[in-house]
Structure 1
Amino acid sequence: MKLFVVAVCLIVAVAAAPSSPETAARRALPALQHEEIHDEFGQYALRYVTAEGTVVSERGRLVPNPDGTGHVLVTEGETSYIGDDGRTYVTKYSAGFDGVKVEGNHLPVAPEPLPVK
């Protein structure tokens, strides 16, 4: 699940920005910074920075189920990149007991529901 969320966020970040030859060349470079920490229980933290300014950070931690029957891996993370327009786009996400949540000022917002008559 955690790998899926990271992969989707990276694909969205890359696909959203139009590509120029200079941007394509920078995207071919390896990550400038890469840190990963894992423990024996499956908890983890990772962070990396790419040459074109994309920053990804994520952590997964085990949290006890409310009913006490086990644990759930709760994932929280953030992806940011600089678009071709020079703006920084930040997407924050989490996945856990209450499902998957994604936030970002650049993401579309659902309209307010109409009142029931």
Structure 2
Amino acid sequence: MSRRKPLPPLPPEGPEPPPTPDELGAVEIPVDGNLDLHLFQPREVKDLVTEYLWACRQKGVLDVRIIHGKGTGALRRTVQSLLPTLPEVENFQTASEADGGWGATWVRLKPL
């Protein structure tokens, strides 16, 4: 029985390319005035809401519904405590029952 020689190690290929958005699980959000937070982690909410409201305002979308769900109310409290700190927010209120009730918040943005 003959023995094979071990193969030499493969040459290094350099650093790994950065992950694509699909590999990162990135989600493209349409800037249409409806932001559904169900797809996101709680730690992402503050930055996400801030960036989304900025994008809406840039597009002239001044009435925005943020859907945070009813659940324990933690996301609602996070969203509603963030909104008064944003200078572009004119006012906000809990949505009507037809628009999601206490599972959503309507935000009115100041025009540019």
| TM-score class normalised by the smaller sequence | under 0.3
- Scaled by the length of structure 2, what TM-score is found? 0.22
Larger radius of gyration, structure 1 or 2?
Answer: 2
| Structure (1 or 2) with the greater strand fraction | 1
- Scaled by the length of structure 1, what TM-score is found? 0.22
Q: Which has the higher contact order (CA 8 A, sep 6+)?
A: 2
| Structure (1 or 2) with the greater helix fraction | 2
